[in-house]
Amino acid sequence: MFSGPMTESIVGKAVDKGILDINVTDFRQFTDDKHHHVDDTPYGGGAGMLLMPQPIFDAMDHVEETAGDRGRVVLLDPAGVPFTETVAEDFAKEEHLTFICGHYEGYDERIRSLVTDEVSLGDYVLTGGELGAMVMIDATVRLIPDVLGNNDSAPGDSFSNGLLEYPQYTRPAEFRGERVPEVLMNGNHQLIAEWRERESLRRTYQRRPDLLEHAKLTTAQRRLLNDVIDEETRG
């Protein structure tokens, strides 16, 4: 599952540049029975199967032996903290991350003793943690210095400052009756910056007002937001 997405696009280029190294460890290879079982029924009964501790512990020992350390160990789990841009920024500071991808009904509770972080991709359930881990890796890798062609790209993206990104346009200036806002073509960088900040606040207010509850806005931004709210209220 990892061989495709983790070798393409920005992530693949980071690997090619030597900025990033990705290793996949299949914990099924560390089982101690001939059928390579990694799951078993839960004590006390219940639906589904649980991942047994032995294959995971032995796989982690292997990671530590080959990599020198486990680094920060992230357990993909619906009970974990929600994955956000802030979490990705925190992960991007680490030299080594290890993601444990669950499967089946869940984990034997003792596996949690291996981890430093429990993280959830969202309030829904996937068939396994592999896709969630790839999403987290992708979001984290793009924040590593020199991974993106332009180091100013990531700081301007949605969620990087707690707000949604402003609308953007490219050529042609007019397409099917819709024109690019004149302010973006007048060359006045101060007016452009002001327009972008206003429209970022507007889009956040329109689509994700919940983000504004926690956004750390400056006094000037709060004044702009009040103007935006007045405009939206008047229609």
* All structural domains of the chain with their residue ranges: 5-141, 158-234
Q: Give me the residues of the chain with pLDDT under 50, please.
A: none
SS3 79: strand
Chain mean pLDDT for the chain: 94
Query: Active site residue: 77, 142, 198, 199, which one?
Result: 142
Binding site listing: 102, 121-126
Q: By CB neighbour count within 10 A (0-12 exposed, 13-18 middle, 19+ buried), where does 3 fall?
A: exposed
Q: Report the alpha-carbon distance of residue 67 to residue 100 in Å, rounded.
A: 15
Query: Active site residue: 85, 90, 118, 157, which one?
Result: 157
Angle in degrees, CA 49, 138, 134, rounded to 5? 15
Q: Does residue 55 carry a catalytic annotation?
A: no
* Same topology between domain 5-141 and domain 158-234: no
Determine the pLDDT at residue 156.
Answer: 61
Q: Does residue 146 carry a catalytic annotation?
A: no
Query: Active site residue: 39, 89, 90, 105, which one?
Result: 105
Give 5-141's CATH code, choosing from 2.60.40.640, 3.40.1280.10, 3.90.1170.40, 3.40.1350.10: 3.40.1280.10
Q: Which residues are paired to 139 by β-bridges?
A: none
Q: Report the alpha-carbon distance of residue 109 to residue 44 in Å, rounded.
A: 14
Domain spanning 158-234: CATH superfamily: tRNA(m1g37)methyltransferase, domain 2 (1.10.1270.20)
Q: Does residue 157 carry a catalytic annotation?
A: yes
Express as a percent the part of the chain with pLDDT over 70: 96
Determine the pLDDT at residue 31.
Answer: 95
Determine the pLDDT at residue 96.
Answer: 97
Binding site listing for S-adenosyl-L-methionine: 102, 121-126
Query: Active site residue: 5, 42, 78, 167, which one?
Result: 78
Q: Does residue 105 carry a catalytic annotation?
A: yes
| CB-based contact 141:11 (threshold 8 Å) | yes
User: Taking the model in full, what pTM does it have?
Assistant: 0.86
Q: Report the alpha-carbon distance of residue 61 to residue 232 in Å, rounded.
A: 57
